[in-house]
Amino acid sequence: MATMPYKRRITLWKEVGETPLQAIEKWKQVNPAYAEIPASYAGRLDPMAEGKLLILLGDECKKQDRYRGLDKEYEIEVLLDLSTDTGDVLGMPAYASRETVPADEDIRRVLHDQTGTKILPYPAFSSKTVNGKPLFLYALEGTLDSISIPKHEETIHRIRLMRHEVVSKDTLQERIERMLALAPRNSEPSKALGADFRQDAIRAEWNTVFENMGDRSFSVLSLRVTCGSGTYMRTLAERIGKELGTSGIALSIKRSKIGTYHLFGFWIRLFR
């Protein structure tokens, strides 16, 4: 193995549509001194999410336990009146057939109710393994009924409403189409089931949903979420939509900070 030249860990910015491994490979291409150095990520990001990704290098890869449990901050957009089976745009959509424009005081009440520690099931479309197989493969196979979905602890320290805006159907459709165009492709036969995240079928279904609804607008809530490790923004968006009397998805997810959050309202930024 090559000798570690400089760093034990770095923070990369993963783009929408990139996998964590693609982000590492891109960084190594512009940092050839690290080309042969082992690298692993501590805390993955969904394909349609962007933001900070903590990368361990060389022997630091053996110390994953040190980096588990770090707090995170996310900036997310919650889109109301639409749902998908994944909780984000890269899923099969369904339309709630209602137009919800909640008052800001109702939004803040719902956000407050989501803070604290809760025991929740893992999302069906997640990499949590059951009997050696990730949950998302059970979901794609239609065999989730054959297993018990495990639960885990999620802690949300704080949620702040940054902005509440209303966007037109046409604007929303154009944005979702641009996002889906960035979704990663994988043609390896060994990863045929789910490798392309059902992209062609998902695009077709989004087109059908938009074609069959009338002219209307959608509420989009921009939130800043401070939370413990292992908190899923996709299912948080779904819960917020449900508590507001409709459905909801995470239109966008951006991880903005990694470190340790203190309830007094400040961060120890361990990784810049």
11 and 271 Cβ atoms separated by less than 8 Å:
yes
| pLDDT tens string 203-244 | 999 999 999 999 999 999 999 999 999 999 999 999 999 999
Given this model, what pLDDT does residue 1 score? 47
Q: Output the CATH code of domain 71-268.
A: 3.30.2350.10
- φ/ψ of residue 188, rounded to 5: -65, 130
Nearest to 220 by CA among 252, 242, 245: 252
Please tell me the pTM assigned to this model. 0.91
- Per-residue pLDDT band at 262 (split at 50, 70, 90): confident
140 and 194 Cβ atoms separated by less than 8 Å:
yes
| pLDDT tens string 90-105 | 999 999 999 999 999 9
| Residue 223 CA from chain centroid, whole number | 14
Secondary structure percentages of the chain, helix, strand, coil, to 5: 30, 35, 35
- φ/ψ of residue 65, rounded to 5: -60, -30
Angle, helices 104-114/233-243, rounded to nearest 10 degrees? 130
In the chain the first and final C-alpha atoms are separated, in Å, by 27
Can you give 161-192 as a three-state secondary structure string? EEEEEEEEHHHHHHHHHHHHHCCCCCCCHHHC
Distance CA(243)–CA(235), nearest Å, equals 12
Q: In the numeric block, which tokens belong to residue 202?
A: 């998902």
Residue 188, pLDDT > 70, answer no
For the chain, the domains span 9-67, 71-268
| Residue 259 CA from chain centroid, whole number | 18
